[in-house]
Amino acid sequence: MTVIRIPKRQWGKAMLAMTAIAPIRVIAKDPLVEVMPAHLELLAAQGIAYEVIPPSERNTKRRHAASN
Buried b (16+ CB within 10 A) or exposed e, 31-49: ebbbbeeebeebbeeeebe
Task: Write down the pTM of the prediction.
Answer: 0.75
In which band, very low, low, confident or very high, does the pLDDT at 58 lie, cut at 50, 70 and 90?
low
Q: In the predicted model, what is the mean pLDDT of residues 35-44?
A: 95
Q: Is the pLDDT of residue 24 over 70?
A: yes
Specify the DSSP class assigned to residue 22.
S
Contact 46, 17 (CB under 8 A): yes
Bigger pLDDT: 68 or 57?
Answer: 57
Specify the DSSP class assigned to residue 19.
H
